Amino acid sequence: MRVLGFMTGTSLDAVDMAVLETDGEAISAFGPAGERKLTEPMRDLMLEATRQALAWPRGAPEPAIFAEAARAGAEEHLAAADEFLATNGLNWSDIDLIGMHGQTVLHERPQDGRPGRTVQLGDAALVAGRSGVPVAYDFRSADVAAGGEGAPLAPIYHLARARASGLKAPLAVLNVGGVANITLWSGGDEMTAFDTGPGNGMIDLMVQARGAGRFDDKGRYASVGQVNAGVLAGFLGHPYFAAPPPKSLDRFDFSLEPLEPLELEDAAATLVAFMAEGVRLGVEITGQTPRELIVTGGGRHNPEIMKALAERLPVPVNAAEAHGWRGDSIEAEAIAFLAARTTNGLPISFPKTTGAPEPMTGGKIVKP
């Protein structure tokens, strides 16, 4: 089937879109991929929804802004798709299924016997009704309800993508988005996956808080900064890094406060080192040594991040494009793949990827 996948990351940068032809097991063809930048009103609305989500007490009614943001997000997805389909000579009638991740405004991992919480906003029924195409959505809730972390969900796609490229295990795929997550493929269908630590998210938040832009473009701040060893050690002393996988994070799980005494450039350099050290420690704690680390997501555009990873990991580090992958579209492709698996009743989360008690189907389907 031909599936359109939508992904909006916690960087609140764009609606990413990708088309796959897949049954959720093998990939038969890669269709077009693209993005549409989020409008400023949309970014502001989702930021406010995130702020309210972080202050939302357990057991209380959900904030009213969630419904408003879900509708607005759906409209943003539809506008992006209309442009994308027209640009690529496609119509909604050419699409068999839509995968819609929605905008994450809250992700709390389970801790000390307390179940996690995860919220992705997007009105899937509105998208289905307007497009005339079934929509698979809400991929994380069932896993969280069963005691899983609800993240990461892309590992099963990373495995399919590696196989489609003829790559061999052992192999690692690192996605550097707002949070960084890694998939370690040891052979066969065996995968271990988890969030390694912050990705771009803390750098973005720090730069924005100082009025220095939306992000550290091409690492220009970090490239002239010095890593503060004391602040870095403080970050790495967090118990998260000693915990065994599977495990997951929200980009707000670490405070920017320790960086306040540092100059902008030094703070950026320290956060780049923090991201790379998280990956190093993550690989180390698994005891696995992949033959290569393939980097996807926006972080691979930052030369300082790529340099820091190469310096700290004892394996070759390559951007996704080295294997012909579309590094900015991997997550949208993954959502398309998960949508196909959902509609075919195939599992999307696993004990060694999210901590689910067993391989679990997930996601819901809404029809037009």
What's the pLDDT at 112? 85
Is 90 exceeded by the pLDDT of residue 251?
no
Give the pLDDT of residue 250: 83
- Res 11: pLDDT: 85
What pairs with residue 184 in β-bridges? 172, 192
The per-residue pLDDT of the chain, averaged, comes to 96
pLDDT score at 111: 86
Mark whether 7 and 35 lie in a shared domain.
yes
Confidence of residue 113 (pLDDT cuts 50, 70, 90): confident
My answer on whether 140 and 74 are in the same domain is: yes
Assess contact for 272 and 219: CB atoms under 8 A: yes
The whole-number pLDDT of residue 110 equals 92
- Looking at the domain assignment, is residue 131 inside a domain? yes
**How many domains would you assign to the chain?**
2
Element (H, E) at 14: strand 14-22
- Give which of 338, 26, 293, 347 is closest to 163, Cα–Cα: 26
pLDDT for 332 beyond 90: yes
Same domain, 289 and 355: no
Question: How many angstroms separate the Cα of 146 from the Cα of each of 125, 154, 358?
Answer: 25, 19, 9
- Say if residue 362's pLDDT is above 90: yes
Reported as a single tens digit per residue, the pLDDT across 283-292 is 999 999 999 9
Domain-located, residue 48: yes
**Do the domain assignments include residue 295?**
yes
Q: How many CB atoms lie within 10 A of CB 158?
A: 29
User: For position 87, which CATH number holds?
Assistant: 3.30.420.40
What residue numbers bound the domain in which 258 lies?
Answer: 166-323
Identify whether residues 222 and 183 lie together within a single domain.
yes
Residues 180 and 293 in one domain: yes
Burial of 92 (0-12, 13-18, 19+ CB in 10 A): middle
Q: What is the model's pTM?
A: 0.95
**DSSP letters of 321-335?**
GGGT--TTTHHHHHH
Contact criterion met (CB below 8 Å) for 97 and 339: yes
Per the CB < 8 A criterion, the answer to whether 183 and 246 are in contact is: no
Both tokens of residue 42?
Answer: 């949309």
Is 158 domain-assigned?
A: no
Say whether both 92 and 226 belong to one domain.
no
* pLDDT tens profile 191-245: 999 999 999 999 999 999 999 999 999 999 999 999 999 999 999 999 999 999 9
Same domain, 221 and 127: no
Based on the fold, state whether residues 72 and 194 are members of the same structural domain: no
Task: Using pLDDT thresholds of 50, 70 and 90, give the confidence band for residue 116.
Answer: very high
What is the pLDDT at residue 252? Answer: 84
Q: How far apart are CA 227 and CA 310, in angstroms?
A: 16
What is the reported pLDDT for 261? 98
Query: What is residue 241's three-state secondary structure?
Result: helix
